[in-house]
A and B are shown apart, each in its own frame.
Chain A
């Protein structure tokens, strides 16, 4: 079984500032990793995913994340945020070759102030 920890429940930041949303996972097997974004009253939308290959993954809306196997982390970053990035962000993990059901973190609320 795997688990996901999103250390920050809320991250306030000013517009055009950089941001990092932290995600750590635990699993006894190799994993797939995902970041999803949820805007108010909407479903979840995939931002990016790590399946294999390069550990630096680029996603939509200028976001990127780096898979660090030794630290079991998959932190999400953006160099310059916009007001429109205000949303809930969920990190998720699923086992390779095992159950395809992802485990979600509790989410981080990104609040971008003008």
Chain B
């Protein structure tokens, strides 16, 4: 089945230790998104790619970076995680028709 895959599902890191979360998709969608979701809150958009065109949200901290080496893969890099970065990180995709978003299962990040 075509889908959005996120690895790992759970990630534990230490305060200040760089961490990378990965997302892959078999849907061949043009657009990929990264969201941060804290407990009992709506997903907060960090950035998105339209093909290779990177779009950063104005309030996304510099600590967060992203890479999209090809259509299928997208990475979220957190350079120096703080305790406040503990959250669920969701990857989503959209075809160029700009309608439904397809979400991965998420990676729950714990910062010790």
Binding site for B on A (CB under 8 A): 9, 32, 34, 36, 41-46, 49, 51, 88, 90, 94, 100-102, 104-107, 109
Contact = CB atoms under 8 A, between A and B. Distances in A.
11 contacts: A9-B40, A41-B106, A43-B6, A43-B92, A44-B43, A44-B92, A45-B103, A46-B100, A49-B100, A100-B94, A101-B48
Contact of B105 (A42, A90, A105): A42
A43 B41 contact: no
Interface of B: 4, 6, 31, 40-43, 45, 48, 88, 90, 92, 94, 98-106, 108
B101 A107 contact: no
A42 B108 CA distance: 10
Nearest to B44: A104
Given A100-B31, A101-B48, A106-B41, 15 more contacts: A34-B101, A41-B108, A43-B90, A43-B105, A43-B106, A44-B101, A45-B103, A46-B100, A46-B101, A46-B102, A49-B100, A88-B40, A100-B94, A102-B101, A107-B42
Contacts of A46: 100-102
Nearest to A51: B99
Nearest to B100: A46
A101 B106 contact: no
A109 to B, nearest CB: 7
A105 B41 CA distance: 9
A38 to B, nearest CB: 8
Contacts of B45: 101
A94 B98 contact: yes
A43 B40 contact: no
Contacts of B31: 100
Contacts of A88: 40
Nearest to A97: B98
A34 to B, nearest CB: 7
B90 A107 contact: no
Contacts of A109: 40
A109 B40 CA distance: 8
A105 B42 contact: yes
